[in-house]
Structure 1
Amino acid sequence: MKSRMIIAALLVLSPISAAFAAQVSGTITAISKNADTITLADGKTYVLPEGIEDTKLHVGEKVQLTYADKGSKAVVSHLVPQK
């Protein structure tokens, strides 16, 4: 019985976590290779996870990214260069 309740709760709550993802577009103003972060022109800093290489990004480049706030950090899940 408890396992059914847990599964039901997970099914109900799983779409909620996707709702907290946000998108933003902007120009990169700073890249920290040590901290694996980028800062956009809005002044907000975003953490780049494994799989998104900061070596391919450049200051002045326009990007669109999808991120989620995890604790006090905005963690990027998807990044696309813009023209």
Structure 2
Amino acid sequence: MLAAAMSTAAFARTVTSTIASVDAKGDAITLADGKTLSLPENIEVETLKAGEKVIVTYSTKSGKSLVSGIQPAR
């Protein structure tokens, strides 16, 4: 039972990537690798733009990836 519970837990990942596209209506970004990440209310999608290199921290739960932090990559 413990293994099943652990397999559904959300683990944070941090990646450096380029934003391929921004979906302002859906509050989401798609990275260069094709992964789509949802943005929480405290991150304004209007501040992000395609082509921007970023460091993103996110977790995946129930098949949905939610950003917990994003900053410009240097």
TM-score, reference length from structure 2: 0.83
Shift of 1:72: 1.4
Aligned counterpart in structure 2 of residue 38 of structure 1, from 2, 24, 29: 29
2:54 is matched with which residue?
63
TM-score, reference length from structure 1: 0.74
1:49 is matched with which residue?
40
Number of matched pairs:
66
RMSD: 1.3
Aligned counterpart in structure 2 of residue 23 of structure 1, from 14, 25, 47: 14
List structure 1 runs of 4+ shifted beyond 4 angstroms: none
User: What is the percentage of aligned positions where both structures have the same residue?
Assistant: 48
Higher Cα radius of gyration: 1
Give the Cα–Cα distance (whole angstroms) in 1 for the partners of residues 27 and 64 of structure 2: 12
Q: How does 1:3-18 map to 2 (within 5 A)?
A: none
Give the Cα–Cα distance (whole angstroms) in 1 for the partners of residues 70 and 61 of structure 2: 17
Shift of 1:27: 0.3
Please give the per-residue CA displacement for 1:2-31, whole angstroms capped at 9, x wherever unaligned. Answer: xxxxxxxxxxxxxxx67x111111000110
Q: Comparing both structures, which one devotes a greater share of its residues to helix? A: 1
Aligned counterpart in structure 2 of residue 76 of structure 1, from 67, 71, 74: 67
Shift of 1:60: 0.2
